[in-house]
């Protein structure tokens, strides 16, 4: 069903068509009425920021926690330049989000805030989508959301301010996104990965942000292997209530956990970027077989080259590996039978020698983490 409305109303409606209920941003003349329509007409929630870069960072965090596409909005010129660092962070983190960025009026090429916004966005590594005309609004927005999910990076939708009060016909346009594989890698690669895991005597399961939804499957695989569970920083707390949990893997590991990781002989990484901080510049992967599973092929080998790589869904892959381990009657490794996880997850902080009127940040963080763990 279609109906006539102004462009700013159609943008707000299109955001709702894509399931957006929360938008972060900073208002300006190029997005003010769109935000008003999103809140008052579409029933959305707008979270204001004090700085444009902060609105993008909030949308990135929202995307990481919710699993949805994060959405932020800013006005033109200097507002967009303030987003460069945050957009770069989103690109590096492979986080799908859409930035609805106003642009100076097409009819005013010498506008004092006018800049080449396309070239600016390209410098960050984010994608750029131009709102071409009032009649293409719904298609352009659908394209931006589609690209954000497929390319797994921020996409900036450029919205000329002089379009906002023009009339157009709104149509619901939401593109199907084909990102979830129907199965896992087959053939020699899968056989090699299962062989490495089956022959390991001290295997360890590592989960990153890309495997959060596969928590239950990873736990079943770890229980079957009797393998410890660890996470990257972005997935911290995923296995906090499990007896095999050793918390963060890498340079932020506890001393005891670091030593345990060093003793392992096979790391099975699901949805985790194996960069320098996670691997401690490769030290933690030395003399180990590494199996990397990720839905994003560009994440494979980004930090280090694994011995076997499966471009597939984390949960489906864990289930497939578990099936073949059971089919072949592979015995459990026994690696976790003598683990003392309380020792492995304990960060030694020493005595608090903070003077009166000061706060020792290490002890403050310990108190804060304890309080947050209790609330969760």
Could you report the per-residue pLDDT of 268-310, keeping only the tens digit for each?
A: 999 998 888 899 989 999 999 999 999 888 788 777 889 998 9
7 shares its domain with 154:
yes
Which residues partner with 74 through β-bridges?
Answer: 101
**Containing domain of residue 251, as a range?**
188-344
Q: How far is CA 152 from CA 15, 56, 145, 205, 281, in A?
A: 18, 15, 10, 24, 25
46 shares its domain with 12:
yes
* Domain's final residue, options 144, 170, 196: 170
Which one, of 164, 173, 94, lies nearest residue 126 by Cα? 94
Is 192 a domain residue? yes
Is 363 a domain residue? no
297 shares its domain with 211:
yes
* CATH classification of the domain holding 232: 3.40.50.1220
235: left (phi over 0), alpha (psi -120 to 50) or beta: alpha
pLDDT-derived band at 357 (thresholds 50, 70, 90) equals confident
218 shares its domain with 127:
no
Is 376 a domain residue? no
Could you report the per-residue pLDDT of 144-200, keeping only the tens digit for each?
A: 999 999 899 999 999 999 999 999 999 999 988 765 555 566 678 899 999 999 999
CB 306 within 8 A of CB 291: yes
Is 61 a domain residue? yes
Question: Which two tokens mark 144?
Answer: 């931006």
Q: How far is CA 318 from CA 47, 61, 178, in A?
A: 38, 27, 21
pLDDT-derived band at 376 (thresholds 50, 70, 90) equals low
């Amino acid at each position: 069903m279609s109906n006539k409305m102004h462009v700013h109303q159609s943008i707000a409606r299109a955001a709702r068509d894509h399931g957006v209920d929360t938008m972060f941003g900073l208002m300006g003349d190029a997005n003010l009425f769109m935000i008003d329509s999103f809140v008052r007409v579409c029933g959305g929630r707008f979270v204001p920021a004090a700085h444009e870069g902060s609105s993008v960072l909030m949308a990135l965090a929202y995307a990481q926690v919710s699993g949805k596409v994060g959405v932020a909005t800013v006005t033109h010129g200097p507002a967009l330049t303030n987003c460069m660092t945050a957009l770069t962070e989103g690109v590096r983190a492979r986080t799908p989000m859409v930035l609805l960025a106003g642009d100076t009026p097409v009819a005013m090429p010498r506008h004092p805030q006018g800049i080449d916004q396309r070239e600016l966005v390209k410098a960050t590594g984010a994608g750029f989508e131009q709102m071409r005309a009032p009649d293409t609004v719904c298609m352009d927005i659908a394209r931006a959301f589609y690209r954000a999910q497929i390319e797994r990076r921020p996409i900036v939708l450029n919205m000329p301010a002089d379009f906002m009060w023009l009339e157009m016909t709104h149509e619901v346009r939401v593109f199907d996104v084909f990102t979830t594989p129907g199965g896992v890698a087959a053939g020699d690669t899968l056989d090699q990965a299962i062989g490495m895991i089956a022959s390991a005597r001290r295997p360890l399961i590592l989960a990153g942000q890309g495997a959060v939804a596969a928590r239950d499957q990873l736990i079943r695989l770890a229980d079957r292997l009797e393998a410890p569970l660890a996470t990257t920083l972005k997935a911290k707390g995923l296995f906090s209530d499990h007896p095999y949990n050793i918390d963060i893997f890498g340079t932020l590991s506890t001393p005891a956990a670091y030593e345990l990781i060093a003793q392992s002989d096979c790391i099975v990484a699901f949805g985790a970027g194996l960069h320098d901080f996670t691997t401690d510049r490769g030290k933690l992967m030395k003399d180990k077989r590494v199996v990397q599973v990720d839905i994003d092929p560009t994440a494979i080998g980004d930090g280090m080259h694994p011995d076997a790589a499966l471009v597939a869904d984390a949960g489906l892959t864990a289930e497939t590996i578990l099936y073949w381990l059971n089919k072949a009657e592979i015995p459990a490794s026994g690696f976790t039978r003598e683990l003392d996880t309380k020792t492995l997850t304990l960060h030694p902080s020493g005595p608090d020698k903070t003077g009166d009127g000061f706060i020792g940040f290490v002890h403050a963080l310990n108190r804060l983490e304890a309080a947050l763990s209790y609330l969760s």
